[in-house]
Structure formats: structure tokens, C-alpha cells
Amino acid sequence: MTLGKRFNNQSILDISTSVCGKYIAFIVNIILLLGLIFLAIGNFEMFLAGVGIWFFRSTPTWILAVYLIIPSFYLALKGLKNICRFNFLLYIIIPLILFLIILNLRDFRITSLLPIAEDGFLSIFKAVPSSLFAFVGFETLAFINPYIKNPGEMTRRASLSLMITTLLFTLIMLASIGIFGEALVFKRFNSLLGLARLIRLPVLERIDLYFIAAWIIGMNLVINTYLFLIYDSAQKIFQFKSKLIPMAVIAVLIIIVVSLTDDNILILTLTNISGFVSIFIGFLIPLIFLVIAVIRGKKGGGSV
């Protein structure tokens, strides 16, 4: 974020150009772009897997991929402003998640959570990498710098959102473990939706269907941002002229990759690696740039 404030209006890609010089920057930018694409594909595969397991066992993946990507495609075309407005849906989804947890409290046993830290801190440290997954999304900050209207607020707001996300993650994790118990939680792919299956309401009986619909909406929000960022960064690197064609190409690319590599185990490894990728892009590289920029005494100015 400090880096962002220094180079007032430039996205990380522009920064890399001014910091490293044109040719190295090009390579670094491509790496960043690939990182973004990787994260997008990872998320999208999770999305597809969820929908595929729950409803569409025999439909080919690519059809689902095409269908699911349509709203994201439309929204990404409309720009970041609209994506941000669209995220108001989060205000609905988060209460729904809390609602889900509350409905299941009857089965919550605190004894499942205890004892804490029995195995020693070492094993806790070992688990940190996979929990870095919670920080995915942070790296998008690096890319949206030029669009931020109010840089002064940035630090505060970004930290706040990060805290809320981590809090939410922790809450869901506590609830899942408390309700399912350690052994069962790890046997499930998607414990959040598993919680939904538990609920039995007087008239409607099974309402997991509606929670899955909410989950679909949530996942879509994620894909939106990634799609837009990929297009935006690609545009900065390659300077496209039209908007529609590169976007379509990106979408098709993602669909193809996703359909070919659809495999549950792959998804699990992807999520682990995603944590690293996110930190790499969102934290390490900007840090390096900051150092270099300070050393070289460069400052960015104006908009690019």
C-alpha cells in the first residue's frame, strides 16, 4: 500500500515498468498476469466443482463453464465501477452465512474444539500456509491502484476488509469443526454447504438448495473481479484497442483450461498454492519494487 501511495495513479504493472526498465518489466508483468490467471482459474474450478458435484453430474464441464461465466463476462465489460456496485450482494450473503451457522447451533459442541494447541505450536505453524488462502484477494489491491479515488482512506479500508474476511473465515471454521467434529470436517469437500445439508426446517425440510444458490452468487463475485483485472492488466501490457475481443479471448481461454483440467485433487492442490501465489503477487513483489524505488529515488507522477 505504501508503494501504491507513492506511485499515485499507476497500477503495479506501470510501476514495474518505471522501476525496472522496459524489458525486465515486461517479463515481470507477464509473470504477474499469469499469476492472476492462475488464481482466476483456481477459483473458477472450485466454483465449477461445487456446482458440478451438487447438481450436474453428467453435464460436460465446458458447458457449465460457458454458462457460469456469462454474468461475469458482462460485468467485467462494464468496468470496475460497476463491479464495485455489484458487490452490494455481499451484504445479503454474509448474513445468510451467519444465519446458516446459527440454525445449526443446536449441534454445536464446544468439546470438539478443545483441546487447543495440544500438539504444540509447531503444528500450528505448519498449517499457516494453507490458511494463507484466506488472504487471497489481497493481491487485487496491487492492480486497482489507478482506480482508487481516495488514497488516504486506502490503508484503513483495506485493513478493515482484510480483518472482516479473516474473521468470517475463522467463524466458519469454528462452526464447522464445532458441529462436525475434527475427523469429519476434513473428509468433506465443502463444509459450508455441508452445514446447509444439516438444517431441517419445519415446513420446507431441506433448504440446502437455497444456500447453494447464495453460494453461487458469492463465487460469481470473485470471478468478476478476477476477470476484469486480467483484462485490465493484459490491456496494459499489450495495449489492445477494442474491448470485446480480448475479453472474449480471455474467457474462452479460461474455459478451455478449466475444462481440460477438471479434477478434484487438482483443485485441492490449487487452493494450497493459491495462497502462495497471492502473497507473492500482493506482497513480495510490491515490497521488492518499493525497495528498488526507494533506492533509485523514483516517484511516479500523474496518470498513465
Partner 1 sequence: MKRHIFSVVSVFIVIAMLSGCQDQNTFEDIGFALSIGFDLSSNDGKTVYTMVFPNISDSGGSYSDKGDGSADYKVDIFSEETYLVREARDLGRLSSTKHVEGGKIQNVLFSSDLAQERKLSEYLEIFERDTRSTVQSTVIVVDGSARELLEKGSQFTEKPRISLYLADLLERNFKSGYCPDTNIVRYDILNVRPGISPIVPLIRLENDKIRVLGSALIDRDKMTGRLDTRETACLFLAMGKNKGSEITFALPEGVETQKKEGIIFTRKVKSKQSIRLENNTPVVSFDIRLSATLDEYTWGDITQQEFESRMEQSLSSSITATLNEVFKKLQEADCDVFGFGDKIHAYHNSYWKSIGGLEGWKTIYPTVKINVNLKADLIRYGEIK
Partner 2 sequence: MLRNRRPKVAESPEDNIEIDVSLVKNMERLQEQLRDCGDLAVTRIKTAGGRDVNVLFIDGLVDYDLIQRDVLPTLLKLKNIDSEAFKDNRVFPVIRYERILILEEAVDKIFRGSTVVLIDGLDYAFSFELQRIEARPIEEPTTERILKGHHDGFVESASRNIAIVRSKISSSKLKVKKLTIGKRSRSVVAILYMEDIANPEIIGRVEERLNKIEFDNIGAAGTIEQLISDNPFSIFPQHQATERPDKAIANLLEGRIVLLIDSTPVSLILPVDYFQFYQTPDDYNVNFYFGSFLRLLRFIGSAIAVVLPALYIAILTFHYQTIPLDLLVPLAESRSRVPFPPIIEALIMEVSFELLREASIRLPSTLGPTIGIVGGLVLGQTAVQAGIVSNIMVVIVGITAIATFVVPQYDMGLILRVSRFIYMINAALFGVVGVAIYFLLSMAHLVSLESYGQPYLQPIAPFKAKDLKDIFIRGPLTSYSLRPDIARPKDKTRGRGYTGDKQ
* Chain contacts with partner 2 (rule: CB under 8 A): 51, 55-56, 67-68, 70-71, 74-75, 78-79, 82, 84-89, 91, 203-207, 209-210, 212-213, 216-217, 220
CB atoms under 10 Å from CB of 258, counted, come to 23
Backbone angles phi, psi at 249, to 5 degrees: -60, -45
- Is the distance from CB of 12 to CB of 145 less than 8 angstroms? yes
Binding status of residue 59 toward partner 1 by CB under 8 A: yes
DSSP state of 114: P
- Least gap, CB of 90 to partner 2 (angstroms): 10
- Least gap, CB of 244 to partner 2 (angstroms): 13
Using CB under 8 A as the binding rule, the residues of this chain from 260 to 289 that contact partner 1 are: none
- Least gap, CB of 196 to partner 2 (angstroms): 12
Q: How far apart are CA 281 and CA 34, in angstroms?
A: 10
DSSP state of 139: T
Binding status of residue 198 toward partner 1 by CB under 8 A: yes
CB nearer to partner 1: pick between 107 and 288:
107
Binding status of residue 179 toward partner 1 by CB under 8 A: yes
Q: How far apart are CA 37 and CA 231, in angstroms?
A: 10
Q: How far apart are CA 181 and CA 176, in angstroms?
A: 8
Q: How far apart are CA 134 and CA 132, in angstroms?
A: 5
Query: Which of the choices partner 2, partner 1, none does residue 301 contact, using the CB cut-off of 5 to 8 A by kind?
Result: none
Binding status of residue 180 toward partner 1 by CB under 8 A: yes
Binding status of residue 191 toward partner 1 by CB under 8 A: no
Contacts of 184 (CB under 8 A, 6+ apart): none
Using CB under 8 A as the binding rule, the residues of this chain from 104 to 143 that contact partner 1 are: 107, 109-112, 114-115, 118
Residue found by looking up cell 478493515 in the block: 160
In sequence order, the β-bridge partners of residue 205 are: 201
Kindly compute the dihedral angle of the four CA atoms of residues 69, 72, 74, 75, in this order, to the nearest 10 degrees: 180
Binding status of residue 299 toward partner 1 by CB under 8 A: no
- Least gap, CB of 45 to partner 2 (angstroms): 16
In sequence order, the β-bridge partners of residue 201 are: 205
Binding status of residue 206 toward partner 1 by CB under 8 A: yes
Binding status of residue 242 toward partner 1 by CB under 8 A: no
Residue found by looking up cell 463453464 in the block: 65
Give the chain's radius of gyration (CA, Å).
21
Using CB under 8 A as the binding rule, the residues of this chain from 64 to 103 that contact partner 1 are: 66-67
CB nearer to partner 2: pick between 51 and 177:
51
- Least gap, CB of 228 to partner 2 (angstroms): 12
Q: Using CB under 8 A as the criterion, which residues of the chain lie in contact with partner 1 when the complex forms? A: 53-60, 63, 66-67, 107, 109-112, 114-115, 118, 179-181, 183-184, 197-198, 200, 205-206
